[in-house]
Each structure stands twice: as structure tokens, then as C-alpha cells.
Chains A and B, each alone.
Chain A
């Protein structure tokens, strides 16, 4: 048997809003990513191949699950259009399905199952059609049954509706209190109701009250009380004399000293009350904050090249800018307005003077030829808010696509890659080019693309 897992972005928008830094399929439930529960279930049901299909970027999921060798199954990935129905998806993936029995998990579902039950013969014996459904989606079967008989009664199988933070919390609490033995969960489990990950440091005087799940690389400082009902993620520090009970502390979170976290979800500097859905962002990093992961230094050379090139352009263009600008303003060919854009630094904004020059006179032509409308933007490259060439900057009244933000595809530039290519006709085309070069660029390519962008701008009638 094979399995197709279909998820559409619109189904998990709420998860993106609450946990913006990660793909919804990688949001953890009891320290286990959502997708791993689905993969475990597919394997229990007898699947040898799993295809994860989404209408959104899945690079993070692909990086996490790879080809499935960790589970002994073959995992592949495909995309669909938001308008595609199940039948269309099966048609588009007909080579993968190849006349075999296929289980279709349609929707971002959490499946209640029990790892000790026999799902293999159960699914092999079921007729074609829907097996189970909930408001989040359904599980169905296509392809002929193998003819195998299922001897026992139907194994436990249900689909709890998870469509909000309150239900997410109740689901996690339910697993922790009642179903810990039903799933394979990460961590050492030498005694019941207690899972502890690698590299966990419990200082003197720490109390751990079961049931509890603790992730990897966790430091719990002296005098803290963890549990009952605590789920502590990975890379977490809980400072001294704090108490965490009936709560979820997500990965990469710091809990300050002498805090009492009860029936809450802590994610970075965000504290959520799951019952009311209210959330509070802590400004004081000593109380609650995110733990930053080290960033790669691979792009350092690229940024250095951008800064040197920007400094060189400033030196070259300074005199023309100072001479031509007053004349353009006087003749009304230069119009300026302030616009605030998202910076490349997450959470920061940058205010820029958006200048539009019309190519009606010799001076206007020269100004456009020299890209003087972007002159003041070059200083933002020096302070690291902008790249010399990158994607088109997004105004703060617009939202950066979450997927792009996560993948590091948002790198606004003084000049955009789409200006360097001649084919883009609309914003979608420009996005394609910007995304392509955001991934495939290097500092040598960036310099040649900047030259192309400068050259293409010469032919523009105006800089608007």
C-alpha cells in the first residue's frame, strides 16, 4: 500500500499565525513533529511509500523527513494547485499510485491510533471509499483490497478536530495524561509517564513530577519544579525556582527565574493562554524569551561584497546626485515620498525615500541612467538593512509571505533580480525570478545581475 498526504495552506493558516517560525507539519505535539505522527500511522497501516503533497513550499518538511530512510519507507514530495480535488491529485500522481492500493490522508489531520494494534490487515481488508472523516478532512482508500481478512475487531481510530490553539493544547494534554503508550514519542522512557531527551541537565533541588515530557538540550536550574503535565521542548532553559505545570514550553524558549507557568503555552517571548486564546508578548527577556539559533556564516562574503559595491557606487554617484538633484526638484521631474519597508533583519523596518524621476529632459535621462532615484537606498546596504541586489522590498502595510520568510527568501535589495531579467510581466513573474536568485545567487553572480539591472533601467521611461 502507498499513502498520499494532502495538505493545503488554507487548512493550517491558524498554525502559521501562532507558530510563524516553522512549517505547520513540523509543529511539535508532545515534542514530536506533526508529520512524524502521520508517517508512523502510515507505516502501521502498511505503507511502503508516502507522498506528501502541498500547495505551499515544503523545503523545511523535505529537509526534516528527507527520503524517509530513517523510517524505512520511501518519502517523496509533490505540489498541487489549491483548486485540485482528491481525484485530480491522484491523477497527477498516477505514477506514484501505480494501480496499488492508496490511502489518502486529506487534510492536516491528527490521527488517534494505538501503535500496539494491527492496522495493516485492517486497511488491507477495507473496501474502496472513505474510512473516517472529521471537519478537518478525511482518510479514504482507493485501489482494490488485497483480499486479506482482518481477524480482530476494528482497531482504535479517530480524528480529533484540531483547528485552534485550545484544541491543540487539549490534544497534547490528552496524549500526555491518557495516551502516552499509544504513540512512539521521543526521549528515554525508563519509567511510565516520563520521557526525557538527550543532554538534559537537572540542577540540585529540581523536582520532576510525572507525567512529563522533556526534550533535548534542556537546562532546568536549581529549585525548579517541572510537572505534572509539563511538556518541555528542545533547547529550553528554565531558570531557578520556576514552576511549569500543565503547560507546554515550545522549542528554543527561555523561562525566567521564579516564574509560575500554569496552563499556558510558551513559545519564544510569547505566552499563550490556550483556553481564551489570548497571548502576551514579553518585552523583558529575563522573564521569557526566544533562544536564538546560531546563524550560518556562508553568506558573510556575499554581504561584504554588497557593502563594498554599495560604498563604491556611493562614491561614484555622490557628486552627480548633489549636482543634478536640485535641478530635478526645481523642474518638477523628481517626486519623493517616504515609504516604510520590511528590513532584511527580522522584525525591523526601514524608512526609505521613494523617488520617481521622469525621463522628459536630458537631466532626467542622466539621473535615470545613473539610477540616482535609488541613491539614498545605497546607505541602507551599508547598515545591513538592504542588499545591493535582492528581491523587491515589501512595504510594512503588506505581509511577507510566511513561507518566504522562513526560507530566508526575503532579502530586499536596492535593485531587484527581476529588474535584471527582461521577461517578468507581472508581480508573480517577478517573484519567481526574485526567489530563484535568492537561492541561487553568489557574490559574483550578484555583481553581474546588478550590472544587468542598471542596464535595463536605462531603457525605462520613468523610475515609477
Chain B
């Protein structure tokens, strides 16, 4: 999985590309462990080809840490495959989900 990070409006935009599963989840976890906990973050999931329960677990863990640090954490651009997983698992109840990256990266 490729992780590309850039900054827009003081938000850290993390774009994921590839497969987010048990083998790539630790990579994402490590990436966020290295960044400040109170940094507002938007994760762009448009290019994620596959997401499994371990991948969801990492996203839930990051969301929990951001909430504890009172930092903004949003998901954006969920493609149909990813959206399906969020729907089935009802994980959408834990996240702020936007259909547009620019809208998500606004205060």
C-alpha cells in the first residue's frame, strides 16, 4: 500500500493507494504513530482497492486516538468497494464521511 501525505488548510491529507488489509495495516498504524496526535486528518480512500476487517481496525484505532486528542478526523472519497464494507459492518457510525476531499478539508 502506498501512503501519500500532503497539507491542505492545515489538514493533513493522507491518500491511501492499494490494499488495506492485515499485512498493510501495520504500515498505516506506524505512519500515524509518527505524526502529532492533535493534527487534523482527512484520509482519502478513493484509491483503496480492498479493505478488510484488519484495515478497518486500524482506521477505528486512529479515529479513537484522534477523538481522545480532540483532533478532527474525517474520511473522504470512499469508492463503492470501501463504502460497501463500511455499510455492512456499520462502521460508518464511527466516522465523519465526506464524498469530496476539498469539502472534508474545510473547517
- Residues of A at the B interface (CB closer than 8 Å) are 55, 57-59, 77-79, 81, 91-96, 403, 407, 409, 417, 421, 423-425, 428-429, 431-433, 435-437, 439-440
Contacts and interface: CB of A to CB of B under 8 A. Distances in A.
Q: Which 4 A-B pairs have the closest CB atoms?
A: A423-B57, A95-B100, A94-B103, A79-B92
Interface string B44-85: 000000001110111011001000000000000000000101
7 contacts: A57-B87, A79-B86, A91-B98, A93-B99, A94-B98, A433-B57, A435-B90
Contacts of B89: 431-433, 435-436
B103 A421 contact: no
A55 B100 contact: no
A81 B96 contact: yes
B53 A436 contact: yes
Indicate the size class of the contact surface on chain B.
Answer: 20 to 34
Given A78-B99, A92-B96, A432 B87 contact: no
A65 B61 CA distance: 34
Q: Give the secondary structure class of A's interface.
A: helix
A312 to B, nearest CB: 26
A335 B57 CA distance: 33
Contacts of A79: 86-87, 92-93, 97
B91 A95 contact: no
B96 A94 contact: no
B94 interface: yes
A432 B96 contact: no
Contacts of A423: 54, 57-58, 60-61
Given A92-B98, A95-B99, A436-B85, A424 B92 contact: no
A435 B91 CA distance: 10
A421 B60 CA distance: 14
Contact of B91 (A78, A432, A439, A440): A432
Contacts of B60: 423, 429, 432
A99 to B, nearest CB: 12
Given A93-B99, A431-B90, A439-B88, 18 more contacts: A57-B87, A59-B87, A77-B87, A79-B86, A79-B87, A92-B98, A96-B99, A423-B58, A423-B60, A428-B93, A428-B94, A429-B60, A432-B57, A432-B89, A433-B57, A435-B88, A435-B90, A437-B53
A432 B98 contact: no
A94 B97 CA distance: 11
